[in-house]
Amino acid sequence: MKDPQFVSGEEEKPHESNIQQYHLETSPRRKSESLLNFFRVNKPQLTIIFANTKRRVEEIEKTLRRNGIYCDYIHSGLSQARRNRVINKFRCQQIKTLIATDVAARGIHINDISHVINYDFPQNLEFYTHRIGRTGRAGASGKAITFLSSFSEKSQLTRICRQKNYKIERLEFDREKDEKDTETDLTKVVAAIIQDENGHMLVSQRSLKSKISAGQWQTPGGKVETGESHQEALKREVKEETDLDVKSVGKLLFRFIDKKNKFDIYFYKAEVTGKPKMKEPNKLNSG
């Protein structure tokens, strides 16, 4: 036979005009947190999450279940019978979130999928097209969200946009925005991480963070009064607790939201005049 033609049993023709495409910038260490935030803010209905490896699929499933999101997964390491059972549960909406690898998801054709999440960036354009084509079917609308955690992934997504003439918008939602939404319910607190005469911090950030969840730290600090700047509050608190004058307030080292005790704590590096001495760890209370 000359010039044989290979024809697939079903040609993939996603109705891309029905799919709103977004990208969410995150980092490798924050991807799980970003996924949980997405579920909390958006409350998606029938959702497929795509990952590139069997191990990652199982990790995502465990993370979601630990956080009260009932889900299941499929990948090539499962028997075909088990994959069929999971897909049927998903089709009947006994579960509303499915985590899958690309190969395992090839046979999924369900019309009611509202969201597709590319947790791991797809390996090529074909995989990207197939993934987003799981939503926006049968005239329905859908949303596809791609997590970007490196410059390389951003570049690849830019190429996909050019090749397919896609419009992919940035998803305006992240941890910082979520914190701002809850800011009014929190008491603002500043704390000083004081340096000694040699420029060494008297307590390391690592040991300090281990005490934060209990509302304790080995450094002066306290609540920010109405109309008071962070720098003013820091100088006042250090003076009251140590009788030392703050020479300068450095950069913000880190910020911690203590949701249990409803505190929004800002830790600054502070240079003082005199020789600071450590006191007993402070403990905030909500009174």
pTM of the complete model beyond 0.75: no
Best CA proximity match to 113, nearest among 87, 139, 142, 85: 142
Domain residue extents for the chain:
16-178, 186-282
Superfamily of domain 16-178: P-loop containing nucleotide triphosphate hydrolases (3.40.50.300)
pLDDT digits (tens, 9 = 90+) for 217-248: 556 677 777 777 888 887 887 777 777 788 78
Q: List residues bridging with 21 in a β-sheet.
A: 144, 168
pLDDT digits (tens, 9 = 90+) for 32-48: 989 988 998 888 889 99
Q: Which of 7-11, 36-40, 53-57 has the lowest mean pLDDT?
A: 7-11
Q: Alpha-carbon distance 29 to 237, whole Å? A: 34
Q: Which of 61-75, 205-219, 263-277 has the highest mean pLDDT?
A: 61-75
Angle between helices 54-66 and 31-42 (to 10 degrees): 50
- To the question of domain 186-282 being in CATH 2.40.50.140, the answer is no
